[in-house]
A and B are shown apart, each in its own frame.
Chain A
Amino acid sequence: MWIRSSMTYRASFVVTVFGNLLVTGLDFVAILLMFSQVDSLGGWSLPEVAFLYGLSATAFGLADLTFGSMDVLGRRMRDGSFDILLVRPAPVLAQVAADHFALRRLGRITQGVLVLGWGLLTVEVDWTTAKVLLVPVMLVSGGVIFCALFVAGAAFQFLAQDAAEVQNAFTYGGTTLLQYPPTVFGKDFVRGVTFMLPLAFVNWVPAAYVLERPYPLDLPQWAAFASPLVAVACCAPAGLAWRAGLRSYRSTGS
C-alpha cells in the first residue's frame, strides 16, 4: 500500500529518491573532501575507506529499508494511533516495519552500492574465494545487526515516548562511525563498539581480513567470519526487548 501511494506521484518519487541519494551522499563527499587534503586517514587509503564506507552504508541501507520507519513509533504512541496496530490480526513488529514503508530509501542503498562498487574496483587486494564470499556475507549480517539496533531502539521508545533521536545516535551514528577506519578512534571507544555494541562486525573486523590489515584489538583470525553469528546473537536481545516493551505498553487514553 505504501509502495503504491508513493508511486502515485511519480515525479515527486523520483525527486525524493534523488534527494535521498544526495543527502546520504554528503557523508562520502565529506570523506572525499578530507582526502583532497591528505593521502591517508588513520593509515588507510581512499579506496580502502571507500570499501569500508560502501559496506557500512549498504548494510545500513538494507536495514533502513526494512525497519527504518521505526522512528514513527513514538509519534504513533503519542497520538494514540498505535492502538490500531494492536487490534489488527498481524504481528505488530511487521506492521510497524511496513508503516510508512518508503521506497525512496532506495536512494541510500544505491549510494552505498555505488561507493562499494568503486571501492571494490580500486582497492588493491589479492582476491581469494574466501574473501570474495565474505563480501555478501558482510552485507547481509551487517544489515541484520543494524535491524536489531532499529528494533531495540523501537523497544526503547516504549519507555521514552518522544526520544526517537536517541535511536538515531546509535543507528545513524553507528553507520557514520563505521565509515572511518578503526585506527582513527580511541582504544576504549573501539572496545565499546566491538564487545558492548558489536558494530565492529558489520565491516571493521571482516574488512580487516579482506584488506589484510591488522585486526582491531588484536582479535583472533577467525573473528572475521563471526559476523553471521554476531548478527544472530544481536537479534535475540532485540526481540526480547521489543516483546517486553510491547507488553509494558499502556495506551495514551486520549
Chain B
Amino acid sequence: MGSGRLYLAVALGGFRRYATYRAATAAGVFTNTVFGVILVYTYLALWDEKPHLGGYDQAQAVTYVWLGQCLYATLAIQGGGAEKDLMERIRTGEIAVDLYRPADLQLWWLAGDMGRALFQMLGRGVIPFVFGAVFFPMALPTDVTPWAAFVVTLLLAAVVSFAIRYLAALSVFWLMDGMGVNQALMITGIFFSGMVLPLNAFPGTLGEIVRVLPWAAQLQMPADVLMGETDPLRAYAFQAAWAVVLLAAGRLVQSAATRRVVVQGG
C-alpha cells in the first residue's frame, strides 16, 4: 500500500511538472488545432475521391483526425515524454542515483509518464478535439458504454506507448547519445501509429503488417473502439498483449543495463 502511494506521488509530480509551462501548453493547443484543420481538409478530399476508404465514412475520418491531434502529445506519439529525461539521466550518469532509490526503476518512470500523459490530455488534447467537434461533422457515440470502453483503451495505449519509449531510452546505456534513437522514435511513431493516415487505410501487405505492430495500439485501437469499428475486448487483448511483451522486454534490458553500470563502477 505504501509503495502505491509512492508511485501516485511520482505521477502527480509528472503532472505538475508539465502543468508549469502554461504558455507552451497554449501554444501546443494552437499548433494541434492548425494541423488538425489542414489534415481534415486533406482527408475530406481523399474520402471524397474514395468514400469508405479503410471502412470509415467521412465523419469517422474527421473524428480520427481530431483524435490523433488529441492523443499526439498525450501518448507522446513522436517521442518527447518521460523517455527524454531518462535518456538525459543515463547520458550524464545521474541514473546511478535513481538506481539507489528503494523503488522499481521501470514503475517509477511509468508513473511519471502517466502523470505527464494525463496533463497533456487535459491541457493540450481536449481543446483541439472539442474545436473539431464544434466546427466539423464528427462521428461520436451518444451513449456512455463506448466512451467507457474508450477510456480503458486509452489507458492501455498509454502503457504501450511508454513501454516502447522506455525500451528506446534504455538503448542509450549502450549508445551513449539519444539523438539517433529520438529520430527513430519520431519516424516510427508518426508512421506506424497512423498519424499520417489511418492504419486501416494502408494498402495491401503493408497495411496487414502495420496493423499488428505495437504502434497500432496507440491511435488506431482507441479510435476504432470509440467509433464502434472493433470489439472492445479484442482491442484490450491486443493492447494488453503488447504491453506485457514490451514491459517484460524492458525489464530484461534494464537488468542487463544496470549490471553494466555496476561493472563500470556507476
Contact = CB atoms under 8 A, between A and B. Distances in A.
Interface in B6-42: 21, 23-24, 26-28, 30-31, 34-35, 37-38, 41-42
A169 B32 CA distance: 8
B265 interface: no
Nearest to B182: A19
A173 B41 CA distance: 13
Interface residues of A, number: 38
A164 interface: yes
Interface string A145-180: 000000000000000111111101110010011001
Using C-beta atoms within 8 Å of the partner chain, give the interface range for chain B.
20 to 34
Given A42-B45, A173-B31, A26 B191 contact: yes
Contacts of B26: 163
A73 B95 CA distance: 30
A168 B196 CA distance: 18
Give the interface SS of chain A, mostly helix, strand, loop or mixed. Answer: helix
B49 A165 contact: no
A38 B50 contact: yes
B24 A163 contact: yes
Interface in B166-198: 177, 179-180, 183-184, 186-187, 190-191, 196-197
Given A37-B50, A41-B49, A176-B35, 12 more contacts: A16-B179, A33-B201, A34-B197, A36-B203, A38-B50, A39-B49, A41-B46, A163-B27, A164-B24, A173-B35, A183-B45, A184-B44
Interface of B: 21, 23-24, 26-28, 30-31, 34-35, 37-38, 41-42, 44-46, 49-50, 53, 177, 179-180, 183-184, 186-187, 190-191, 196-197, 201-203
28 contacts: A12-B177, A19-B184, A22-B187, A23-B187, A29-B191, A29-B196, A30-B197, A33-B202, A36-B203, A37-B53, A37-B201, A38-B46, A38-B50, A40-B49, A41-B46, A42-B45, A160-B27, A163-B27, A165-B28, A166-B31, A168-B31, A169-B27, A169-B35, A173-B31, A173-B35, A176-B35, A180-B38, A183-B45
